[in-house]
Structure formats: C-alpha cells, structure tokens
C-alpha cells in the first residue's frame, strides 16, 4: 500500500519552467547560442550547471569559458530567476494540486519534495505549501541528479518509508526513470512519459480516486 508521495516541483506543483526558460534565454543570447524549443525542452529537470553546459554546447561555446566565468553566468541566471519566482503566489499552484495535497494530508499520507531545484524551499514558501511536506531533499547533497534514482530514494528516507510504499509524481522522462529506478510507483503527468506506471494528461486529473482507478483498485 502507498503511504507516501514524493513530488517533483517544476511542472507538477507549479509552472516554474516558464521562468527558467526566460532566464536561460537571456543567458543563451549573451553567450551567442540560438534559443530553440528543443533546447528549452531538454533543460527540464536538469541541474543548473548541467543546463548551462548544454546551452554552451548547443552553440559550440563549451570551450570558450573558464570555470569561474561559467559560475558567474550561472549566478547571473539564478539572480534573474530569483526575481521572477518572487512574483509567485498560491494562485500559481497548478490546477488540482492544492486539492490533492489537502486530500493527502486529510488521509494521513506523508509528502516529501524531490526537486532538482536549489530554489525549491523558497518556491514552496511563495506558494504557501511549506507545511504540507515532512521534508525536502537537498539537491546539493546528491551524488547524481535525475535520472539517477538517488533523489527519489532519499525522498522515501525522508518519509521513513520503504520504496514500495512510495509513489513519485513527475513531468519529465528523467524523473520517471529516477522513480522507477528507486523501486517506487511512478506517476507521470503530461505526454511522452511511456515509462510511467500511471499516466495522467495534466495535474487536474491527479486525485486518489483517479489513482485507484488507474491501478484497478
């Protein structure tokens, strides 16, 4: 039986991807890489420094910057992103997710956050959701990011639950791979998540009743 839920943030709880994209677009322009929809999509769920490397590589600039210069570019992106997320309010919670979190809390389920974002604690605060979560995995302490199973395995630890009692919610293929690798029940939100055990088209579909129906319970 599932007793806890591990949540991705960007794309599951709030659409912070639009802010990441806005800020990375500025970085891409600055380094001379063309900003394309494919590049934008490829950055989903990828850590800050890996995202920068992908942007540099897409324009053939991977050898043009020193480590210190790369760190400065990443810091500048995060400053711009920080200003954008500061506008978030509870009205920015994706459809259905406040109700789902309330339903889980009322049902005595545990919740943990498994986001690659170092800004996650701030974002939860802006959204007014901090108190729902028993813990937030600190991505700075991970040896490997998604698709490695580590982040979702750590979320189960935070909730003090064995993997087979945990369900993970994700909107990225890398995240679904991480959940499956950790031995948890994967719930995919959006299309192109064929590896997910349960699939929902959007966050508005996510509820315990729909989950039970999808599992044939």
Catalytic residue numbers read 8, 10
Q: Which residues bind ligand B16 (CB under 6 A)?
A: 8-11, 20, 43-48, 51, 78, 115-119
Q: How far is the CB of 119 from ligand B16 (least distance, A)?
A: 4
Phi, psi of 157 (to 5 degrees): -60, -45
Binding window for Mg ion (CB under 5 A); candidates: 4-12, 63-71, 129-137, 158-166: 4-12
Contact between 19 and Mg ion by CB under 5 A: the answer reads no
Q: Counting contacts by CB under 5 A, is residue 150 touching Mg ion?
A: no
- The stretch among 105-113, 126-134, 155-163, 170-178 that binds Mg ion (CB under 5 A) is 170-178
Q: For residue 171, say whether it is annotated as part of any ligand binding site.
A: yes
> Binding segment for Mg ion among 29-37, 47-55, 95-103, 169-177 (CB under 5 A)?
169-177
Q: How far is the CB of 23 from Mg ion (least distance, A)?
A: 16
- CA–CA dist 159, 120 (Å, integer): 18
Which one of ligand B16, Mg ion, none interacts with residue 48, CB within 5 to 8 A by kind? ligand B16
CB of 22 to ligand B16, least distance (A): 12
Q: Which does 176 bind (CB under 5 to 8 A by kind): Mg ion, ligand B16, none?
A: none
CA 216 to chain centre: 27
Q: Is 9 annotated as a binding residue?
A: yes
Give the nearest residue (CB) to Mg ion: 11
Q: And the tokens for 111?
A: 């919740």
DSSP-assigned states of every residue in 72-107: HHHHHHHHHHHHHHTT--GGGBPTTHHHHHHHHHHT
Whole-angstrom Cα distance, residue 9 to residue 28?
24
Residue 77 known to bind ligand = yes
Tell me: is residue 194 an annotated ligand-binding position. no
Residue closer to ligand B16, measured from CB, 111 or 116: 116
Radius of gyration of the chain (CA): 17
- Asked if residue 178 belongs to a known ligand binding site, the reply is no
Tokens linked to 113: 């956050």
| Residue 10 near Mg ion by CB under 5 A | yes
CA–CA distances in Å: residue 95 to residues 61, 100, 107, 123, 212: 39, 10, 20, 17, 20
What H or E segment, with its residue span, contains residue 186? strand 185-189
Do β-strands 135-136 and 198-200 pair in parallel, antiparallel, or remain unpaired? Answer: unpaired
Is residue 184 part of the contact set for Mg ion (CB under 5 A)? Answer: no
Q: How far apart are CA 32 and CA 166, in angstroms?
A: 43
* Rounded Cα gap, residues 186 and 90, in angstroms: 26
Q: Does residue 6 belong to the site contacting Mg ion (CB under 5 A)? A: no
Binding residues for Mg(2+): 8, 10, 170-171
């Amino acid at each position: 039986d599932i007793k806890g839920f591990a949540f991705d943030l960007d794309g599951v709880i709030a659409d912070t991807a639009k802010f990441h994209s806005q800020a990375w677009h500025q970085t891409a322009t600055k380094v001379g890489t063309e900003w394309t929809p494919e590049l934008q999509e490829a950055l989903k769920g990828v850590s800050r420094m890996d995202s920068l490397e992908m942007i540099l590589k897409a324009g053939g600039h991977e050898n043009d910057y020193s480590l210190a210069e790369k760190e400065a570019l990443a810091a500048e992106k995060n400053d711009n992103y920080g200003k954008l997320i500061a506008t978030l309010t509870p009205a920015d919670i994706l459809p259905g997710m406040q109700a789902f979190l309330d339903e889980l809390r009322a049902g005595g389920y545990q919740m943990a956050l498994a986001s690659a974002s170092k800004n996650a604690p701030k974002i939860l605060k802006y959204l007014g959701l901090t108190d729902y979560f028993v813990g937030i995995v600190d991505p700075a302490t991970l040896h490997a990011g998604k698709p490695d199973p580590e982040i979702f395995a750590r979320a189960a630890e935070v909730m003090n639950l064995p993997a087979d009692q945990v369900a993970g919610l994700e909107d990225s293929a890398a995240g679904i791979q991480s959940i499956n690798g950790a031995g948890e029940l994967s719930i995919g939100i959006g299309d192109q998540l064929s590896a997910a055990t349960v699939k929902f088209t959007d966050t508005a579909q996510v509820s315990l009743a729909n989950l039970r129906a999808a599992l044939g319970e």
